[in-house]
A and B are shown apart, each in its own frame.
Chain A
Amino acid sequence: MTKLTSNQIEHIAKLAKVDVSKKETGKFQDQLSKVLDYIDELNEVDTENTVPTSQTTGLENIKRSDEIDINNCLSQEDALSGTESTHNNYFKVPAVFEENK
């Protein structure tokens, strides 16, 4: 039941950018280890000569002509409609870099 260590949970949470509190770490460690234990049954299956499947349609390289269809475009107003924080018709986002003081 300890397939995943608490360090691993913290590491995965950091990679995935999700918030996991100290208290939650133990819960997720237990729940996810149980799932990983279950899916270990796949090791019984001989897949030595099996090709992996990533999709089921059999379609490849589906393209459309590279033309602008005005009906498929969002106006600037529409594109910004999901946020209240705009500046001069741009998204206002938190700063990534800080100014050197």
Chain B
Amino acid sequence: MNLPLTINTLHKDLKEKEYSLVELVDGYLSRIKLLDKDINSFITLSEDYAYFKAKEFDNSLKDLNEKAFEKYPLLGTVVAHKDLFLTKGIRTTASSKVLESYIPSYSATVVKKLEEAGSIIIGKTNCDAWAHGASGENSDFGSTKNPWNKEYVPGGSSSGSAASVASNFCMFSTGTDTGGSIRQPANLTGIVGFKPTYGAVSRYGIIAMASSLDSVGHFTRTVEDSRKVFNVTKGEDLKDSTLKNFVKKDLKKKFRIGLPKEYFIEGIDKEVSEEVRRCAKIFEKEGNEIVEISLPHTKYAISVYYIIQPAEVSSNLSRYDGIRFGNKRTSFGDEAKRRIMLGTYVLSAGYYDAYYLKAMKVRTKIIEDFDKVFKDVDAIIAPVSPTSAFKIGEKANDPLKMYLADIFTVAANIGGIPGIAIPSNFNRKGLPLGFQLIGPRFSEDTLFFLGEKFQEITNYEPKVA
């Protein structure tokens, strides 16, 4: 059986009765069992539940026929959730030994919404423990490998979610992006990774990392599918008080796209910067305008991030005391300990003003840069990661080096603005390359439009590792 690569293909196959959803789940599970032992993208498989839902939706298909696709816009889409998303009755670990045997008694809003839209949960994916990392190597359940070359990292922290889509273990997967944890692994595994505006998608029921930065997005193979999933996940839920409903605006026909000069600095691989410029040219040929812009404070984004983020981490992880559920705090791994201690330090008496308050002020400066630029351009095109995938172990013993892997992605989190990573090419080693589009708050429609256009004019065909 040929496992479908897009939601359109899946729905076409289902309408033509090429296979049942039970057979589809069979197909994914046998592929996972054959290949995932070398990739390690899953921590938990929810086989019984997947078959249960598949049967349920097979029956809906029989009863409702074509109408089933109206009732369930994501009917039969097999989804893998990052193991930070609470799934009622299915173990949720945050890839940490602290929550090794935790089984949630409720589901995250996003998990619920996706299920109500017809998706089938196949399992929970590996990630850096508590989403702390850029390579997947900080998982307490072993690192995930890049499906394109198993000596390389898939990026992180949503390492297993990215690897599972790149390996075609599911139709799409969910992730969280606090400093780049969706866009960077999408970039390193050659798939589409979408980070929404802060406040567009509910964080309810998702294990918190840094509450003012966390955004809840997903991995797909096409921009069109990314939009389809977002149409289901977005919107107020009366549980997460930072949510705002999305207002649809009329779209332009041609766009002004900014190329930020500060993103083409020393330390970025030539093949990465050349690929972004090549893609910018493709947009230009389509009648869009490419203009050089400046985001002068962007170079401070990592420093701001490594004060605000650990401060919020130290506060969020203080609840894990092992008293009512989970293991004791002695089970925290090294990276969680580093971030908890760094956060505790920058918030402690005598250091608060020098670090935390200062970072919140420079955060304002970074946001002011974006506000100014978005008066002139509709979107920004930029590199995602300064290099293609790096080797396992290359940065594992140098936390600062690992932190710098997020240098081009963190600014969007600091500003609370959306971004989408789009694959465009492979390098000589056969590793994926791509770019990201960033826009002002709630400009998702523009980003999806531009991304879809790019895949359309380049005749993009999704590839499976």
Contacts and interface: CB of A to CB of B under 8 A. Distances in A.
B256 interface: no
B341 A35 contact: no
A16 B341 contact: yes
Interface residues of A, number: 46
A12 B338 CA distance: 11
Given A32-B338, A56-B416, A81 B105 contact: yes
B427 interface: no
Nearest to B359: A42
B400 A34 contact: yes
7 contacts: A4-B345, A16-B343, A32-B338, A39-B303, A62-B242, A82-B102, A82-B103
B393 interface: no
Contact of B303 (A18, A42, A94): A42
Contacts of A34: 399-400
Contact of A18 (B239, B329, B367): B329
Interface in A13-50: 13, 15-20, 24, 28, 31-32, 34-36, 38-39, 41-43, 45, 47, 50
Contacts of B441: 56
A42 B416 CA distance: 20
A62 B337 contact: no
Given A28-B337, A45-B365, A82-B326, A62 B399 contact: no
B103 A55 contact: no
B340 interface: yes
B194 interface: no
A93 B345 contact: no
Interface in A53-101: 53-57, 59, 62, 64, 72, 74, 78-79, 81-83, 91, 93-94
A56 B449 CA distance: 24
Contacts of B415: 56
B175 interface: no
B344 A16 contact: yes
Contacts of B321: 17
